[in-house]
Every structure is written in C-alpha cells, then in structure tokens.
C-alpha cells in the first residue's frame, strides 16, 4: 500500500512538471488603489457598471509600470457577491501588453484569471503569451466612503 502511494505521488509530480511550459516565467507585482479613482465609462452594461482606472504597479518585475483597467462589475444580492470582467493594458518604459480576465468576489475577497491578448506585446514584451491571475484580492472600507482594493497581479508568461 505504501509503495502504491509513493508511486502515485511520483507520477502526479511528473505529470505536473510536464504540464508546466519549459519557457514559462512568472512576473508578479502589487496592485493597490482606492476605487474612488474610478471613472464611469460612457457605455454601461445592462445589470452592471463599467469603470476605468489607471494604477501604478509596485514591487516585483512590473514595478513602476502602469495598468489602465476597464472593469465591468455585475453585483448580485445587493452587492454581497458578484462577477467582474477586466480589460487591462500594461505600459512600462520598455514595452507593454494587454490582457483580459474574469473573476468573482464575495465577503471573503476576490480572485480572477485570464489571458494575455495575442499580438499585444510591444518592446521587451513582443511575442509575450500566457495567463494572468489576480490573487489575494481584498477590499477594506476607506475613510472617503470608497474601498481600498489590493491584490497581486501574476503574469504566467512565455515568449512565443
């Protein structure tokens, strides 16, 4: 029985290692902002709200880059939980890229995942491909009536 467990564990590790792209490189930076900086966009979705933000990333590989976000929010049960879609454009002094992601929130925080848009990379990021994740998402009530939002933006990228 112990042998079977060890064999199964070894096979699982080998499968996970094989599933990870050889050229993949993760980049991670912090996103933190007060949602009162958001500006409502002219086009609003049915049953939701779309806002735009411009945020400077801090720490990690994208430190100092800015991300322009257009976020559509669809709150449910009086905002107790909801779904959101993001279009993001990352701009750095040495290039940039665009991504889309979708996620959800509830009373425990939020998370999202998506993809880098094909062909969107410029400069250092030309040919970039991969996935995006927004992890550890949290919001706390701010004194100005808005919410202080924070999360880690993780770019699991590989070059095409």
pTM, two decimal places: 0.81
- Residue 67 has a CB neighbour count (10 Å cut-off) of 23
Contact partners, residue 116, CB within 8 Å, separation at least 6: 97, 98, 99, 128, 129, 130, 131, 132, 155, 157
Tens-place pLDDT, residues 6-15: 333 444 343 3
pLDDT tens, residue by residue, 13-69: 433 333 444 455 799 999 999 999 999 999 999 999 999 999 999 999 999 999 999
Domains of the chain in start order, with CATH, are 25-159 (2.40.350.10)
């Amino acid at each position: 029985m112990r042998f079977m467990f060890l064999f199964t564990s070894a096979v699982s590790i080998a499968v996970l290692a094989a599933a990870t792209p050889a050229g993949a490189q993760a980049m991670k930076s912090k996103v933190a902002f007060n949602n009162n900086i958001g500006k409502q966009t002219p086009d609003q979705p049915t049953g939701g709200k779309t806002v735009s933000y411009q945020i400077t990333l801090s720490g990690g590989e994208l430190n100092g880059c800015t991300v322009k976000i257009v976020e559509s929010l669809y709150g449910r049960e009086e905002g107790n939980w909801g779904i959101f879609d993001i279009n993001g454009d990352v701009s750095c002094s040495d290039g940039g890229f665009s991504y889309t992601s979708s996620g959800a929130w509830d009373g425990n925080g939020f998370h999202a995942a998506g993809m880098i848009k094909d062909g969107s990379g410029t400069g250092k990021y030309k040919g970039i491909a991969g996935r995006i994740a927004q992890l550890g998402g949290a919001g706390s009530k701010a004194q100005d009536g808005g919410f202080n939002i924070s999360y880690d933006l993780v770019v699991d990228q590989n070059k095409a």
